[in-house]
Structure formats: structure tokens, C-alpha cells
Amino acid sequence: MKDNPVTMALLFDFYGDTLTDKQKDYFDLYHGRDLSLSEISENEGITRQGVRDVISRAEAALRELESRLGLVARYGHLLMSANKLSEAARDILEINERRYVNPGIKKRAEEILKLAEALNGAPEDGV
């Protein structure tokens, strides 16, 4: 049974360069291109069990790195914090517009929103 595809993709994005070329290839075929173990074994000329072993070792290596380094978890927390910052900045902009119309508050809230969205990978062209 496959692990959560999003989790596996994130682990691979963060730690995939630590895998061997064969592990990277089989991992990508299995998780990225959604080929079955049988399809990969036929294409690569090895047994289904051989393919499974390579993929299992790759998955274990990725999980081990995450348990030691925690980069994927930190990234998730960063995105969640950036989303909360964006939401708070939007709330401040809305409250300011309805009650205060203070240009200083508007400017600072827009700066916070722009930075939070940049952390989230959103384009930095306007608010």
C-alpha cells in the first residue's frame, strides 16, 4: 500500500538528492508516474520484489532523514504561519478600511500581507 502521495512527494522534494540514481528513478516511476511494481519490473528487467526492495529502502531513507531533520514538518509549520499572517493582515486591512482609514495602518498591513504571501510562494505583484 502506498503512503500518502503528498507526503512522499514532499519527502522526495526535500531529501531526494540523497538517494541513489536507481532509488530516485524507481521512486519517481512508482510515486510520481504511478506505475505499478509489475510495470516497473517489466520495464527495468528485474523482479517485482527487486523493485519493491529498492522503493522500500528509498522510502525508509526519506522517512529517516525527516525524523532526524524535520525539514518537511518545519516547512508545513512555516506555511501554516504564513497563512495565518496573511489572514490577520487582511482582517487588519478590512477593519482599517471600515473604521479608521489610517494610511499608516494600511501600508504596514499591506507590507505584512506581501511578506506572508512571499513565504507562501505567492507572486509579489500587489495586494
Q: Would you give per-residue pLDDT tens digits along the chain (127 residues)?
A: 457 889 999 999 999 999 999 999 999 999 999 999 999 999 999 999 999 999 999 999 999 999 999 999 999 999 999 999 999 999 999 999 999 999 999 999 999 999 999 998 865 554 4
Question: What's the topology of domain 5-69?
Answer: Arc Repressor Mutant, subunit A (1.10.10)
The amino acid that residue 25 corresponds to is: D
In whole angstroms, what is the distance from residue 91 CA to residue 49 CA? 55
